[in-house]
Chain A
Amino acid sequence: MAGPAASAPLTTSPRLVLRRLTKYYDRFVALDRLDLTIEPGEFVVVLGRNGAGKTTLLRTLALLLSPSEGELLFDAQPSRTLDVSFRGRIGFVGHETFLYDELTVEENLNFYASLYGIEPTRPRVAEVLTEMGLDNRTTSLVRSLSRGLKQRLALARAWLHKPDLLLLDEPATGLDTPTRARMHRWLAACHQTGRTVLVSSHDLAESLQPATRILLLEKGRLVFDGPNAPERVQEMQARLEAAAG
């Protein structure tokens, strides 16, 4: 993963504002009155144990979920009034890869590139494949790829349309240490171009270095919000363990 080309223009990421954002499913409250502002160009790590609401938060920001109560604003515009074309500014990597096992690496990217209306398709796909270090696997079926390669391809898919808001839901899960390090370098490079990056994680050791800000969720509530600093690691570790206990 070489990181986005140096020539990539500085983007103007949207400013995200959450106002008492709540999402519930019957009795279960996934997000509980979140108040939060994320400025363009921030690199945010969302920490929390499984079920703390990280996935719900990221999916809501990706416009996959609509809030039950409260508001989500992109550049002061409420999410439900956004034009469908706004989705083109968001890149999202979920727990699953969103890839078709029976298609090859290149076919998957061609497919998504065409859905995003990228013209011409091939040069951009080739570019992303090189960037992610997948150019020697273009004709492999996704089914045959390792977890690490699949995750790289999932990143490539989310990066095809050069979104200016990158949302990654536990992207490091199941990756070995070198692959993880490469991904973090790549994300840091993305952040360098001025993009907003949100990454969720339940294990802070892996994900704190490049972040500028830390959010900690517990049972759907925001319990910590502050800038990233080396001394935070201990504190966060303690809080995550306390939540586990």
Chain B
Amino acid sequence: MAWPLFWITVFPGFLFLCLFAWAMEYVDRKLYAKLQNRIGPPWFQPFADFVKLVSKEEIIPTEANSLMFKLMPVLALTAVLTAFMHIPLWSSKPIISFEGSVIVVVYLLTLPTLAFFLAGWSSSSLYSTIGAVRTLTQLFAYEVPLLLAVLAPALVAHTWSLGKMVEFYGAHPLLTLPNLIGFIVALVALQGKLERVPFDIPEAETEIVGGTFTEYSGRLLGLFRLAIDMEMVVGASLVAAVFLPFGFSLGPVAGFVLYLVKVLFVVFLLALLRTVTARLRIEQMVEFCWKFLAPAALFQILLSLVINRIV
């Protein structure tokens, strides 16, 4: 049997990622509702939303660039799936592992944002153009802190490979404690990448209707929503692998359960951040990221360099 094909399509590939993404969207929405003293949706709601979207008619505006319009959801989905292959989930050997996989993962996670921009741009509608421009402006704000925060633990571990990083921290668990600042910076920057409140400026419903996704409907919108859910899972797994590298040598079953617990914890923090803040304006967001997040990330890098010298 061709094992790589099984890994890519079923587990931990496409099928597993789909189901896990829907489960995490349910957890996020249920937590959001419970924190607001409401009941919230039933467990099958994300799947029901997907089925409903896929069964509706696709309307492509005449001024839109039809090829790009249809290609962008597929591009976003592919990039997210490929990134998931590189992340160590419960053992220190992800499906694909090589020196430099940290940088490749962060790069692959940038591709969905570019896909959102191109989707909004090729829709050539007023609201989607404004949303597309805001997506790119936001990218310039959170990308640098995210990259720096994720690279800081790599500096201490003397390696660019995610698998080797996890092994290093398994051998020296106490060295994860100085990475706390990086953990917080990475969480806030991840909220920006996922375009959720307080950073959901590109898709601000009350200002520009749907932002980049205004003209999308039907199957294409369903694929975009699925890509966004998967992006949350991949981002949370990356943060869990880099900043919470515990239990990677406990064997497959215990390791898998611990992985689920870690991702749930990260999703809980993201949902809490979503609940207690209001949406920022684009220039306030850029100001916040460059005034607070980037210096914090730089401080973390400095700390990691110092530890690098000592260890």
Asked if A and B bind, the verdict is no
B residues lining the A interface (CB < 8 Å):
none
